[in-house]
Structure 1
Amino acid sequence: MLTIAFPAAAFDTNCYVIAPAAGEECLVVDPGIGVEDTVAAVLREHRLRPAAVLLTHGHLDHVYAVAPVCGGGTAAYIHAEDRYRLEDPLAIVNPGMLAMLEQQFGRKATWRAPERVVELAGRDALELAGLQVSVMHAPGHTEGSVMFGLPQVPDGVTGVEVSSTVLSGDVLFAGSIGRTDLPGGDHAAMQRSLRDVVLPLPDTTLVLPGHGPATTMDRERATNPYLQGLGA
């Protein structure tokens, strides 16, 4: 599975481009702030055509470039409970953060919603770009946070024993989890998601998070302090 990962220009949000192989259709996952040129370059280099944009949740740093990356005909997929965030994510961002972004990039932040949006539900099974994608609803960071599971692993992964992949968004990071103190966050819901959705994942799952380095469920089960004592 061809997998290209790169950070956005703000907040180090990971954007992923995933395809069965070069020259095929692809999925773009979490196109954050300032990724448009990099996505376009990756598509040209590998001769890829976007079939869908998958959003792990609706926070600005994960969706800011969704409309330009989608273009007119490609749909954005987001859980129904985070659908409202695509109406205008700027409206629910701290004004100080917006000012910081405007100072960093030298222009006022703007928002354009994608033309086509597909609402997801937990346990949806998708077939997109020749890939099978399972949807795992894992609220806590936001109401509609999801993880996307794939039965393959990226080409070239060595040094770890992995047999499947999960794009965990801001649910699970290497050594940490997503914060729950932002609007729509819920600590109790996050605890349930970690116990009922994250912990049952096989040890051989490769975790590609929304921020930070990749990890494995084997490593997180053994070392992540936020998973200790939850039970499976």
Structure 2
Amino acid sequence: MEWHQLPLGPLQTNCYIVSKENRTCLIFDPGEESEKLIKWMNEKQLKPIAIILTHAHFDHIGAVDDIRDTYQIPVYVHENEADWLSDPALNGSHLFKVGKLIQGKPADHVLTDETNLTIGDFAFNILKTPGHSPGSLSFYFAEGNLVISGDALFNGSIGRTDLPGGNHHQLLSSIHEQLLILPEETIALPGHGPVTTIGREMDTNPFLNGF
């Protein structure tokens, strides 16, 4: 299994593509620049089979409908943010006015109490990591030794909690109870900025000390 990081859009939101040897792939958080993303995947001869969202803030969902329509693939989001895809007031595109207002189509699959998911040849764990937003999820691939942490955990930082539905204490609890229990060598793929590891954040992240 391989993974690729593509920063997209004005906020350079990290889109991740996780792929298998058979060229099938999952797309996480296609935030913007759908043409750039489609061109990249076509050059790599990848075959997307699903779009999965860590959460539904505008900078993580801007290219969802373009990618879904191009490849005719389903979209997955947590139930707490299912309405956000079509509501600019909830997804933040109305508040921040960075690019277009996002009024997308509903997700094809709404995640509720699932703790694991299999899509095609991909099997992974769903980790509920609310705090940055009420429906934030992280996705752990034991096979690839990686976790896609969205805007919960960053390299040397954590997600902001001053947006609607944010909760600082809840975010810290999510990180400690869901992410820091993973093997220390686990590669953490954040929603913005460079990758890190769980062990590095345990040792050096100043926001996690003293919790």
Tell me whether the two structures share a fold, i.e. TM-score over 0.5: yes
Give me the whole-angstrom Cα distance separating, in 2, the residues matched to 1:217 and 1:115: 33
Q: Output aligned runs, 1:124-143, within 5 Å.
A: 124-143=115-134
2:51–2:75 Cα contact (<8 Å) kept:
yes
**Residue number in structure 1 paired with 2:174:** 193
Aligned partner letter, 1:5? Q
**Residue number in structure 2 paired with 1:167:** 148
SS state at 1:226 partner? coil
Give me the whole-angstrom Cα distance separating, in 2, the residues matched to 1:184 and 1:168: 18
- Whether 1:206 and 2:195 are equivalent positions in the alignment is no
1:71 corresponds, among 69, 72, 76, to 69
- Following TM superposition, by how much is the alpha carbon of 1:50 offset from its aligned partner in structure 2, in angstroms? 1.3
- Whether 1:60 and 2:61 are equivalent positions in the alignment is no
Give me the whole-angstrom Cα distance separating, in 1, the residues matched to 2:90 and 2:203: 39
Change in CA separation of 1:122 and 1:96 when aligned onto 2, cut-off 3 Å: closer
**Residue number in structure 2 paired with 1:4:** 4
- Following TM superposition, by how much is the alpha carbon of 1:68 offset from its aligned partner in structure 2, in angstroms? 0.7
Larger Rg belongs to: 1
- TM-score w.r.t. the length of structure 2 is 0.91
- TM-score w.r.t. the length of structure 1 is 0.84
Q: Percent identity?
A: 35
Give me the whole-angstrom Cα distance separating, in 2, the residues matched to 1:46 and 1:56: 24
- Following TM superposition, by how much is the alpha carbon of 1:114 offset from its aligned partner in structure 2, in angstroms? 3.5
2:93–2:101 Cα contact (<8 Å) kept:
no
**Residue number in structure 1 paired with 2:84:** 85
1:152 corresponds, among 143, 146, 155, to 143
SS state at 2:173 partner? helix
SS state at 2:207 partner? helix
**Residue number in structure 2 paired with 1:18:** 18
- Following TM superposition, by how much is the alpha carbon of 1:20 offset from its aligned partner in structure 2, in angstroms? 0.9
Name the count of aligned residue pairs. 210
1:20–1:129 Cα contact (<8 Å) kept:
no
Mark the runs of 5 or more structure 1 residues left unpaired by the alignment. 103-108, 154-163
